[in-house]
Amino acid sequence: MSGEDECEKKCFTFIWKLENASYCWQKTGDCIESSSFEIDELEETKWKLRLFHRSASTRNAIGFYLLRDSDSKGAMKAEIDYELAILASDGSALQSSEKTKGTFQKNSTSGLFVSRNEVFVARSTFLPQDTFTLRCKMWKRVGEMSKDVQCFARTRIFVEEMSFLWKIKDFSTLESDEKQTYEIKSLESGQQLMCLELFVTGGQIFDEKIRFVVIPNYQIIKTSSFQLFIVDASKNLVECFQDEFWYLDPSGRREVFFLTKKKLMERKNVYLPDDVLSLQCEFSFTSGIVLREGNRILSECISVENNGLNGRRLQKENDTPVLKCILSNNLKSMVNNSCLSDVKLKTKSQTYPAHKTILGARSPVFKAMFSSDMREKIIDCVDVEDLNDDTVLRMLRYIYSAEVEELEWVSAIELYEAADKYVVLHLRDICSYFLKNSLCPSNACEALVLADLHQDDDLKSFVQDFIFRHGKDVINSEEWEKLMETNLKLAAETMRVKYKE
C-alpha cells in the first residue's frame, strides 16, 4: 500500500475541547480527563484522553496522552496506529506526533508533550478563547474501518467571575500602616473567597508607599485571576495590578507596591475626587468543578479541522459566570412569554410574542423594521409565514439566550436560511459549521445549492472542495443528476473550479 493510500485509510477521530484551560489547577503528575469513547470497530475498546497541566516527567511541559481504559473490552493487547495533535482555532495542527504504531494494554498510555512556556506565551494561538483543542486519530493496524467517524467531546472548568468597586474614603487622612480591608465572599455560600488589604507604609507622607495585598482562600479556590484598576474622576480605568494565583503557591498571598501617596496627592483632582480612592476589582476563580458533555458522533463526515473554516467555530454557549448565567436564564424565560411583549411574530399556524428592543439589538433587519415607519412597526406584528414554527422558536431562543438546540440536517438548513434572512450572522455561522461537519456524498449537492443561493462563498468553497475529494461518490449520485437537471449552471461552475489552473 502506498503512503498516499495509507493516509487516506478511514479512521476514528476524537476531538476534545477543554474550556477555561488556563484555570487548570492540577499539581505535577495529576491530570484532567475527557469523557470515555468506545470504538466498535476496534473490538469495542474504550479510550479517553488525559491532559497533564504539569507533566511529572518534564515539569516545564504539558503532557497530552491517549489512554486505554482499565474496563475496556477487546483483546489484552490492542494494536492500532494513532496520531495526537493540538489544534489551532482554524483546525490546523499546531503540534502533532507522527503516525505511530502502538500496542495498548488496559490502562496503558502514550503521549505528546508541548512546552508550557510556548503555550502560555502564545496563548491566543494555543488557547483561543481559553480553549485547548486536542485531537486523536486512530486507524486499524490490519485492514481498514468501514467508515470515517468523528467524535466530539467538551469539558469545561467552571469559572466564577466577580466585579466590584471598592471605595476608600478620606484617603488623604490614612496614617502609616493603617490597613483597609475588603472581603470577597461567595454569593452562594457566604464563605470568604479572598481578602484584599490596602495600607500605606514608609516615612514622610510624600514618601509613603501604597501597598496592596491579595490573600486567596485556598480551601475553596484552586486557581484565580485578579485585576485591579484605579477609577479616575472621568470614570476611566487605570490598570495597576494583574496576577494569577495557584493553590499550589507556597506563599499563599501576593503583596505589590503600585503607587506612592505623593503621586496620588499631586493629581488628587484626577485620582481622588472628594478625597475618595476608587478601585475597580475584577476577580475570577475556579473551585475545581468540572463539567463534561457527552460525546457527539458524526459518521461518514469530512474532517473539518483541515479544511479552512477561517477560524469560525461553534462558540461555547454556556461558558458564562454565575451572574451572567442568571441574566441569560432571565432573558430565556421571556421567549414565547407575552409579559411586556410589544410585537408578535406570526407563522402560518402560530403567533409568538417578542420584544422589539431585544429583536432590534440582535438583528439589523428587525432594527430597521422598528426604527422606521414600516408596516411591522405600525401594526406591531411581523409576518414570518415563510418559516415553520420550529425554526422561528429556535431563532428566538438563540436571539434571547445565544443558545442553539441540538441540530439535525434539515433543521440546520432551515435555521441557516432564517438567520441569513434576518442577518443574525453568528447563528448562521453556527448552522454553517454544523453543515460542514455533516457533509456526505448524498447531501453535498443540497448544501452547494444552499450556499450558492445565499451567496455564502465560504460555505460554497468548502462544499466544492468536499465534492472534488469525493468525486466519484458525488458525481455518480442521484443528487448530482438532479442538480444537473435543475441547476446546470452551478454544476458546470463547480467543475470549472476543479479544473481551473
At 299, the pLDDT band (50, 70, 90 cuts) reads low
Are 130 and 183 found together in one domain? no
Total domains in the fold of the chain: 4
CA atoms 337, 342, 347, 350: torsion sign: positive
Are 281 and 366 found together in one domain? no
Any domain includes 401: yes
CA neighbours closer than 13 Å in the CB half-sphere of residue 188? 9
Single residue among 438, 471, 491 that ends a domain in this structure = 438
- Higher-confidence residue: 401 or 17? 17
Average pLDDT over residues 93-115: 87
pLDDT surpassing 50 at residue 133: yes
What CATH number has the domain bearing residue 415? Answer: 3.30.710.10
Are 151 and 208 found together in one domain? no
**How many angstroms separate the CA atoms of 186 and 219, rounded?**
13
In this predicted structure, which of 52-61, 158-167, 279-288, 319-328 has the lowest mean pLDDT?
A: 319-328
CB 416 within 8 A of CB 387: no
pLDDT in tens, 14-35: 999 998 888 888 877 788 999 8
pLDDT attached to residue 381: 83
Are 150 and 18 found together in one domain? yes
At 55, the pLDDT band (50, 70, 90 cuts) reads low
Are 120 and 87 found together in one domain? yes
pLDDT surpassing 90 at residue 213: no
Average pLDDT over residues 115-144: 86
Average pLDDT over residues 304-321: 38
Are 82 and 188 found together in one domain? no
Are 153 and 19 found together in one domain? yes
At 243, the pLDDT band (50, 70, 90 cuts) reads low
What one-character-per-residue DSSP string does 189-210 give?
Answer: T--EEEEEEEEEESSSGGG-EE
In this predicted structure, which of 174-178, 253-257, 323-327 has the lowest mean pLDDT?
A: 323-327
Any domain includes 172: yes
**How many angstroms separate the CA atoms of 308 and 128, rounded?**
16
pTM for this model (two decimals): 0.56
pLDDT in tens, 411-422: 999 999 999 999
Average pLDDT over residues 270-285: 88
Any domain includes 339: yes
Are 34 and 147 found together in one domain? yes
Are 473 and 453 found together in one domain? yes
Any domain includes 304: no
Single residue among 96, 124, 157 that ends a domain in this structure = 157
At 151, the pLDDT band (50, 70, 90 cuts) reads confident
Are 424 and 463 found together in one domain? no
pLDDT attached to residue 13: 92
**How many angstroms separate the CA atoms of 70 and 373, rounded?**
68
pLDDT surpassing 90 at residue 447: yes
- Higher-confidence residue: 208 or 470? 470
Are 69 and 147 found together in one domain? yes
Are 72 and 107 found together in one domain? yes
Q: Measuring CA to CA, which residue among 311, 362, 381 is closest to residue 92?
A: 311
Range of the domain at 139: 12-157
